[in-house]
């Protein structure tokens, strides 16, 4: 079993790209630390990236043609190590 196969909904990434993306050149669009969680629970972290497939085709401007643009959100639950003081319970 590949490591990414432990992720919930990994099949949606494969369906979008035809394979598992390496996210090598993905652009980070948003990072959110969600600290407003029930008292005693660890915060969650959301990471949203813009990813695509790069083809071997070169455009008239001299850039590789990019296809299958998608925004993908990863949710990391129960983040136990965050730099700084833990906020109040909500």
Is the Cβ–Cβ distance between 53 and 16 less than 8 Å? no
Q: Give the count of domains, the chain.
A: 1
Scanning the structure block, which residue is given the tokens 């401007």? 61
Query: 6-58: per-residue pLDDT in tens?
Result: 999 999 999 999 999 888 899 999 999 888 777 777 888 999 999 999 999 99
- CA–CA distance, 27 with 44 (Å, rounded to integer): 21
Assess if residue 44 is contained within a domain. Answer: yes
Task: Say what the pTM is.
Answer: 0.74
- CA–CA distance, 90 with 85 (Å, rounded to integer): 15
Question: Which two structure tokens, joined as six digits, stand for 7?
Answer: 């992720």
Assess if residue 9 is contained within a domain. Answer: no
Is the Cβ–Cβ distance between 51 and 29 less than 8 Å? no
Q: Which domain holds residue 64?
A: 22-81
Assess if residue 40 is contained within a domain. Answer: yes
Assess if residue 53 is contained within a domain. Answer: yes
């Amino acid at each position: 079993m590949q490591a990414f196969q432990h992720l919930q909904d990994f099949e949606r990434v494969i369906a979008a790209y035809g394979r598992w993306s390496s996210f090598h050149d993905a652009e980070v669009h948003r990072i959110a630390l969600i600290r407003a969680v029930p008292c005693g629970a660890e915060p969650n972290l959301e990471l949203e990236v813009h990813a695509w497939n790069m083809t071997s085709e070169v455009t008239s401007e001299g850039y590789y043609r990019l296809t299958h643009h998608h925004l993908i959100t990863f949710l990391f639950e129960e983040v136990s190590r965050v730099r700084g003081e833990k906020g109040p319970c909500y």
